[in-house]
């Protein structure tokens, strides 16, 4: 069996090294893109949390805000609380409008 020429081995080795380099570069670019997307999502989540905190939706939501506005609402029967809450939401414009 004849031995392959050293020149042919060198060419094959260079091709393999080039393909490996291309593969590494592609993986590097993909990881950079994923890191950028992850940072954007983290910023978006942080902004969303800040908006919720500013709007008072954390820690009980709108119903808790409704009850905290007038503490005597807490002692009302549940049916009266919910009726007053529905009126309060209507006044504040928090209800979904009917088309």
Q: Domain ranges in the chain? A: 1-55, 57-99
CA distance 12 to 6: 10
Give the list of residues 6+ apart from residue 56 with CB closer than 8 angstroms, or none.
Answer: 62, 65
Residue 93 DSSP code: T
Residue 3 DSSP code: P
Per-residue pLDDT of the chain (99 residues), as tens digits, is 567 788 999 999 999 999 999 999 999 999 999 999 999 998 888 787 776 666 654 567 888 989 999 989 999 999 999 999 999 999 988 888 765
pLDDT at 37: 95
What is the total residue count of the chain? Answer: 99
DSSP SS3 for 98: coil
């Amino acid at each position: 069996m004849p031995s392959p020429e050293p020149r042919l081995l060198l060419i094959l080795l260079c091709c393999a090294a080039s393909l490996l380099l291309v593969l590494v570069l592609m993986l590097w670019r993909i990881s950079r893109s994923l890191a950028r997307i992850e940072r954007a999502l983290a910023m978006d989540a942080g902004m969303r949390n800040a908006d919720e905190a500013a709007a008072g939706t954390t820690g009980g939501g709108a119903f808790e805000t409704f009850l905290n506005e007038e503490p005597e609402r807490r002692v009302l029967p549940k049916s009266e609380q919910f009726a007053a809450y529905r009126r309060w939401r209507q006044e504040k414009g928090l209800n979904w409008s009917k088309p």
